Amino acid sequence: MYPAPVGQPATIGALHQDLTSAGYTTDNVAALLGPTATAALDREQHIPARRALRDALAKGDRLAGMISCFMLADPIHPELAEAMFPTLTLPGAVELNLVTTTDDGRVIATVDLSAYATDSGHDMWVASDQTALQLGAPLPAEHILGVGKASMTLAEITPRHKVDTALDIGTGCGIQALYLLTHVQHVTITDISQRALDFAVFNILLNAVAVDVDPAHLTDRVSVVAGNMLEPVDGQTFDLVVTNPPFVIAPSQATTTHTYRETGQTGDHVVKELISTLDTVLAPGAQAVMLANWEMFGKGTWHDRLATWPAESMDIWAIQRSSSDPAQYAEIWLQDSSENLNPAAYHDAYARYLADFEARGVTQIGFGWVWLRKRDETAPLRKFEYLTSAVHQPVAAAWASSVSKYDSMYTAQTRDWALANVHLVAPQWVTYEQYQRFGAQHPEVLMARSGAGFGRHVRLDTATAAVLGAADGELSTGQIVAAVAGLLELNDQQTSALQDEITALYVDGFLDVFEPAATTS
């Protein structure tokens, strides 16, 4: 493997100038490649992009050179390479471990350096190890992963409120740290791999302007600590913790462990251990967000084991997004590291996965998102959902809103229903659906569907549907429930159940507090 990029602030500043002046942004890359080649690249197919760049490369276009060199990993002529780096210079790019030269004098990239659009209005550039497609071989054990779907998902579910301190466990190329620095005063990044920390520091320095970091005083906003999981921050506490840990379950007899996704521990032990000990690094009221896998054995719900892992002081809200049988799981992760490029090794590894799961009685493996909080004065929150439908990312704001609503509902020091005197309204993105068979006189299925946030859809009974239909902000929720209960002749127990249903719908975003439109004189 090539060495990691070098964290030299002044030289990286020159690279920043050259990337900016070349117009190396997501929009410009897409415009130069065109929609067909761009879509093909997303499918890890390079041929359309190479064809799209032919004329621009022939003219010595700097942006085309950047794409060809860093995204396609194609050798480029030294004259074009020198034109690509007018400020940094080609020797400077070599010194930063971004490129090297071949025996015939051509220049080749030693990293994947790609532009990524963010919701802050700034493009960021992220360096990582080259992909299996660029390498033409399975990923090596010490591979440093770039920005993928999993890392973007974690960024999109992470709460973005301003806090003083945050911890990024297993930072990898540093993408979570880049997002955290936009709303956190000081971020600590850890990783068991020094190579990963080198990539992360390089990426933070390269994007220093976008994340408001002074390259000459990096430690003012970033602490870099090598070590495994929580060990390097023992005794410290943080306001926010994020992690995309090496949660992938690999056979114990695996010959190769990819440090970016596996630890070599048996089953889902690393996830269990992390969830069980996160309370030690969280300040009171602090939150943690992570991606995870968990194993299921025989009968029972998917979250039976997961529910027992957090410490007593911790809240947990876990959302399972998918479930795989052992064969599906093996295929997912063998393809992830491109083991299929070596058929014999792929066959043996696949068999080891199946043997390992069979020996331990694993029937399914779940994947999902886990939110945790160190409880202060709030009521215990333990919620488990299985949501497989598409969500409307980013969902961080919707999730934070639901947590806030939960707290307001279940911490009130009164026996009265918390929503009784609240005026509610169904947001405009919530729709009402009715289903019935042909010939039926009345709807047989009533549904509420959210077109925002988690995109939940829930089945309603007649009473609940009537309350949602009447929730226009004019009457209090208590008045509406009383009217519906009287109309449908509900007893006290049924009315109490209806109140619980409305509370749950409020927490999940199907109802919001009514806010009258401002009037002007």
Question: Is residue 234 domain-shared with residue 373, that is, in the same domain?
Answer: yes
Tell me if 397 is assigned to some domain: yes
Residues contacting residue 380 through CB under 8 Å, at least 6 positions apart:
315
Question: Is residue 246 domain-shared with residue 106, that is, in the same domain?
Answer: no
Nearest to 464 by CA among 506, 422, 411, 404: 506
Q: Position of tokens 């197919």?
A: 45
Tell me if 141 is assigned to some domain: no
Judge contact between 480 and 465, C-beta under 8 A. Answer: no
Q: What percent of the chain is helix, strand and coil (3-state, nearest 5)?
A: 40, 20, 40
Question: pLDDT grade, residue 521 (50/70/90)?
Answer: very low
Split into its structural domains, the chain has a count of 3
Tell me if 249 is assigned to some domain: yes
Question: Is residue 257 domain-shared with residue 327, that is, in the same domain?
Answer: yes
Judge contact between 455 and 438, C-beta under 8 A. Answer: no
Tell me if 144 is assigned to some domain: no
- Per-residue confidence (pLDDT) for residue 451, from 0 to 100: 95
Question: pLDDT grade, residue 413 (50/70/90)?
Answer: low
CA–CA separation, 136 vs 133, rounded Å? 5
Which of 358, 382, 409 represents a domain boundary (last residue)? 409
For the stretch 77-91, what's the b/e string if a residue is b when 16 or more beta carbons lie within 10 angstroms of its beta carbon?
eeebbebbbeebebe
Question: Is residue 405 domain-shared with residue 462, that is, in the same domain?
Answer: no
- Per-residue confidence (pLDDT) for residue 414, from 0 to 100: 57
Residue 394: cis peptide before it, omega within 30 degrees of 0: yes
pLDDT digits (tens, 9 = 90+) for 321-365: 999 999 999 998 888 777 777 788 888 889 998 999 999 999 999
Domain around 328: 149-295+306-409
Q: For residue 472, give the 3-state DSSP assignment.
A: strand
**Residue of 412 and 184 predicted with greater confidence:** 184
- Per DSSP bridges, beta strands 184-191 and 222-226 are parallel
Tell me if 127 is assigned to some domain: no
Question: Is residue 360 domain-shared with residue 486, that is, in the same domain?
Answer: no
Nearest to 50 by CA among 16, 22, 76, 83: 76
Ordered alpha helix ranges (H), 311-364: 326-336, 343-360
Q: For residue 401, give the 3-state DSSP assignment.
A: helix
Q: For residue 227, give the 3-state DSSP assignment.
A: coil
Q: What does the pLDDT average to over 380-386? A: 95
pLDDT digits (tens, 9 = 90+) for 433-480: 999 999 888 889 999 999 999 999 999 999 999 999 999 999 999 999
pLDDT digits (tens, 9 = 90+) for 228-245: 999 999 999 999 999 999
Q: For residue 185, give the 3-state DSSP assignment.
A: strand
* Average pLDDT across the chain, whole number: 92
Tell me if 1 is assigned to some domain: no
- Per-residue confidence (pLDDT) for residue 212, from 0 to 100: 95
pTM, two decimals, is 0.91
CATH of the domain at 380: 3.40.50.150
Tell me if 362 is assigned to some domain: yes
Question: Is residue 288 domain-shared with residue 362, that is, in the same domain?
Answer: yes
Question: Is residue 104 domain-shared with residue 164, that is, in the same domain?
Answer: no
Question: Is residue 277 domain-shared with residue 363, that is, in the same domain?
Answer: yes
Nearest to 17 by CA among 216, 173, 179, 206: 206
Question: Is residue 197 domain-shared with residue 340, that is, in the same domain?
Answer: yes
Question: pLDDT grade, residue 412 (50/70/90)?
Answer: low
